[in-house]
Amino acid sequence: MRKILTLLTVALCIFGASAQQKKADKQTAQWRYEIQPVVGEAAQGTALVRIWTYSKSNKVAISQAAKNAVHAIMFKGYPASNDGTRIVGREPLIADPNIEEKNAEYFAEFFKEGGAYQRYVSFVNNGVPDQILKVNKEYKIGITVVIMIDQLRERLENDKIITPTTTVQGKMPTVMIVPSKVYCNNHKCMKTYNNQGQTEYIQDYEKALLDNDLNQAITALNARLVARGFETKNLQSALNSIKNEKAETAVMMSIEGGASVAETPIDVLRRVANADIWIEINWNENTMKGGSEKTLTFSMSAIDSYTDFVVGGIPPTTSHNSFSSSFNIALAIESAIQGQFDPFCNTMVDYFKTLGAKGRAIKVRVFCWDDWDGNLMEEYDGDELNEIIEDWLADNTVGGKFGSPAISPSGKSMTIEQVRMPLTDAKGRDNDPKRWARGLRNKLKEDYSIPANISTKGLGELLIVLGSK
């Protein structure tokens, strides 16, 4: 008899738990919750949030908090804090609200009891509620959790629920992170450079990289960019390549009065690194409470390394988390850019798509060598040389687009702005100005016996010198 009662008790407990779970799932299906960011340190690629769950049973609310938190990150995101901590908000991973309904079976499986959702959330303080409030006839339970956002995004991309960062003509833009000029100036990492008799102050990147915090920041941001599909170029590696080449400047003589076209050290670095976009970063640390805590104000800008056009950026944003003496720059930056990094990446990709459709804008400068007796106004088969060059540009630019040529009175030089070079060549290989201009050089040599030397100043300025190779 005692055994029968024991078995009956166990059965009732199982039935009760099952009934309670069904009730919990039914309540969760309504997705009644609130989410808010929480002050504190979270690892890179994660978010620290408090999820408020409503239920008539406080036990049900606690058990369903993890599902609610993952659902919130997927479909709602969260606004910036309004309690004085000034934590930046975050956009939802899934921008289209119709996706949930269109993929109802997928999400039912994902959020079922013991489902995949639990891999992307962990409780803080072992799931003990921060606060339990009685609101009318139900409970409002606040629990702090950590959401593995980057891993969750990757899962949704792999399952084809959301579209991954798209490529342009089979490639993503390559990027390189550098400290901004403001950062270098504030950290006394500037050096003088003699640019054709004019003294200029430029960034001393080698000195800047002696700062361990800068290296940590670059490493952390590179990891986030790689996770979004970008190819990153390493600043230190590029500087080492320049040393190996023993190249500080490159100077090419032109015809007009022995003038020269000089490459600055920054031009050389851009050419050697060969990154489509430079990302300049800057931050300021502010000490609080007698030196025991710090905040960080961080900003970053994306710049087309061919044209210096500002592609996008994250304006100065302050992380108001209270970082102790064990200040971690990577975590501080992570906190500062919450909710802004994905839009920043999307801006770079959208810009690159525009380049794919319209071509990359470069400047073309044509010079005639000192000892060559020809000039750009000389006729070949009834056409002036400058017209021959323009015809080639019309046939080899995207949409035949380029600016009006400016020819010197002597006919010894010509400058053409906004020349729309295609991103890839006929074989689908990445284009650069020198590769692209080989066709013009070959045409001039084969059709008109005009030797030509092609080189670049930085990345975005193509130099063609006629009469010498």
Exposed / middle / buried, residue 465 (Cβ in 10 Å: 0-12, 13-18, 19+): buried
Cα–Cα distance for residue pair 275/350, rounded to 1 Å: 17
CA distance 318 to 340: 12
Residue 90, class by beta-carbon neighbours within 10 Å (0-12 exposed, 13-18 middle, 19+ buried)?
A: buried
DSSP for 381-449, please give it: TTEEHHHHHHHHHHHHSGGG--PPPEE-TTSSEEEEEEEEE-SB-TTSPBP-HHHHHHHHHHHHHHHH-
Shared domain for 92 and 232, answered yes or no, is no
In a domain, 339, yes or no: yes
Report if residue 389 sits inside a domain. yes
Task: For residue 168, tell me if it sits in a domain.
Answer: no
Query: Does residue 51 sit in the same domain as residue 147?
Result: yes
Give the pLDDT confidence score for residue 20 in this predicted structure: 52
Output the pLDDT for position 67. Answer: 94
In a domain, 1, yes or no: no
CA-closest candidate to residue 83, choices 37, 41, 131, 48: 37
The pLDDT value recorded for residue 323 is 53
**Strands 383-384 and 379-380: what pairing?**
antiparallel
Q: Could you give the maximum distance between any two Cα atoms of the chain, in Å?
A: 117
Residue that finishes a domain, picked among 158, 190, 206 = 158
Give yes or no: residues 90 and 205 share one domain.
no
For the chain, report the end-to-end CA distance as a whole number of angstroms. Answer: 105
Q: Do 115 and 206 fall within a single domain?
A: no
Same-domain check for residues 294 and 382? no
In a domain, 346, yes or no: yes
Q: Find the length of the chain.
A: 469
Whole-structure pTM value = 0.70
Exposure letters 405-427 (e unless 16+ CB within 10 A, then b): bebeeebbbbebeebbbbbebee
Q: Both 149 and 208 in a single domain?
A: no
Task: State which residues of the chain have pLDDT below 70.
Answer: 1-29, 41, 80-88, 164-170, 245-261, 288-292, 320-327, 468-469
- Regarding whether 140 and 231 lie in a shared domain, the answer is no
Helices 433-448, 385-396: inter-axial angle, 10-degree rounding: 130
Domain count, the chain: 3
Q: Which of 158, 191, 207 is the last residue of a domain?
A: 158
Residue 185: inside a domain, yes or no?
yes
- 391 and 268 share one domain: no
Boundaries of domain holding 446: 359-466
Q: Are residues 426 and 438 in the same domain?
A: yes
Residue 4 burial (CB < 10 Å; 0-12/13-18/19+)? Answer: exposed
Over the stretch 434-444, which tens digit does the pLDDT of each residue have?
A: 999 999 999 99
Q: Are residues 255 and 220 in the same domain?
A: yes
CB atoms within 10 A of CB 351: 20
Asked whether residue 127 is assigned to any structural domain, the reply reads yes
Whether 31 and 138 map to the same domain: the answer is yes
Inside any domain, residue 413: yes
In the numeric block, which tokens belong to residue 94? 């899934």
AA letter at 23: K
Pair of tokens at residue 394: 């019309």
Q: Which regions of 71-183 does DSSP assign to beta strands (E)?
A: 121-123, 131-135, 138-147, 174-179
Shared domain check, 189 and 326: yes
C-alpha–C-alpha distance, residues 240 and 187, integer Å:
22
CA dihedral over 139, 140, 143, 148, signed as positive or negative:
positive
Q: Among 355, 371, 386, give the residue marking a domain's end.
A: 355
